[in-house]
Structure 1
Amino acid sequence: MLEKISEFLPQIQDIGRALAACILAFPIGLHRESHEKNAGLRTYPLVAVTCCIFVLVGKSLVPSEGIEHDAAARLIAGVMTGLGFLGGGAILKNNESVKGTATAITLWGTGAIGVACAFNRFDLAILLSALMYVSLVLLAPLKKKVKNHQSER
């Protein structure tokens, strides 16, 4: 019985990693959704889970002794490059203003949360999730104050 359970343990751990990525991305998506941004509640958790699963599948293709550094670097580079294209599509330039940069970087950062979870680096995933959320919540009012101060000049 224990042999059968231990046979499925890696898959159960991978499912846990993907769920952790989803959970850690959820507050960011919720915040973006509540502020009616282009990407929101569905997008952010899906980005994190998708990146996590890409890395997990890639890791499973490498010999079982462990993932080689070069293979890991190429895998992460491919995932993050793809996210760069996604984020680039969120950035809009209108005359002299640029909008969507926060959406682009939070999408990219959410992908990094997924990658960190895939590599069992929950410490980094939690830190990044918290820093992004705090940045979105606390720095938005400061940004408005700076803009108002600049327009008063």
Structure 2
Amino acid sequence: MSEWLSSLSTDYANQIEMSLRLCAATIAGMAIGINRDIHDKPIGMRTLGLVSLGSAIVILAGSVYEGTHFGQDAVSRVIQGIMTGLGFLGAGAVLRAPDKMEVHGLTTAATVWIAAGLGVAAGLGAWFVTIAGTVVTLLVLTLGKSLEDMLTRLFSSGDKPGGE
């Protein structure tokens, strides 16, 4: 068994490292988001987890591509343009009621941005980053709300308006 694990870690060391980086980025963003949830801010755990994951995907995708005929500086400028443009598109998904402090669509905006990051990764041929990033994104979107609610209840001081 240990021989198999040793072989696996040697053969797939880069993929294991990238998976850890993607997960660490997601956890870091989610940790900040828990704080925002506890303080009733409009941006939360899932949104910041996705933004952090998207950033990691773009960085990893830009560092592992091979076989393209463009220079690294040209690819970098294209990535910057895509991510900036998609940020504006994502901003269009955010809705705010003019008379209230309610914001809707932040997670949707983050998913627009992360989809761009996944597209960049796929376009660069960073297949593992694309697949791993997609899996982690789906986990955050699927399990994130339940985890977010549980952690908010756990760490909340109970002094929120509304009697909690």
TM-score, length of structure 1 as denominator length: 0.52
Match of 1:66 in 2: 69
Match of 1:75 in 2: 78
| Aligned amino acid, residue 124 of structure 2 | F
Which one of 99, 103, 115 corresponds to residue 98 of structure 1? Answer: 103
Which one of 135, 138, 142 corresponds to residue 133 of structure 1? Answer: 138
Q: Report the CA distance shift for 1:152/1:131 in structure 2 as closer, same or farther (over 3 A).
A: farther
Cα distance in 1, alignment partners of residues 132 and 104 from structure 2: 26
List alignment gaps of at least 5 residues for structure 2: 1-66
Q: Report the CA distance shift for 1:117/1:141 in structure 2 as closer, same or farther (over 3 A).
A: same
Cα distance in 1, alignment partners of residues 69 and 163 from structure 2: 58
Match of 1:112 in 2: 117
| 1:24-35 mapped onto 2 (5 Å cutoff) | none
Q: How many Å apart are 1:125 and its aligned residue?
A: 0.7
Q: Is the 8 A contact 2:121 2:127 kept in 1?
A: yes
Q: How many Å apart are 1:69 and its aligned residue?
A: 1.4
TM-score, length of structure 2 as denominator length: 0.49
Cα distance in 1, alignment partners of residues 115 and 68 from structure 2: 28
> Partner of 2:69: helix, strand, or coil?
coil
Q: Please tell me the root mean square deviation across aligned C-alpha atoms, in Å.
A: 2.4
Q: How many Å apart are 1:128 and its aligned residue?
A: 1.2
**Count of residues in correspondence between the two structures:** 90
Give CA-to-partner distance per residue, 1:47-87, whole Å, 9 cap, x none.
xxxxxxxxxxxxxxxxx982111111111111111111110
Q: Is the 8 A contact 2:118 2:133 kept in 1?
A: yes
Q: Is the 8 A contact 2:90 2:113 kept in 1?
A: yes
The range that moved more, 137-146 or 121-130, is: 137-146
List alignment gaps of at least 5 residues for structure 1: 1-63
Q: Report the CA distance shift for 1:65/1:130 in structure 2 as closer, same or farther (over 3 A).
A: closer
More helix by share: 1
User: Identity of counterpart residues, as a percentage?
Assistant: 32
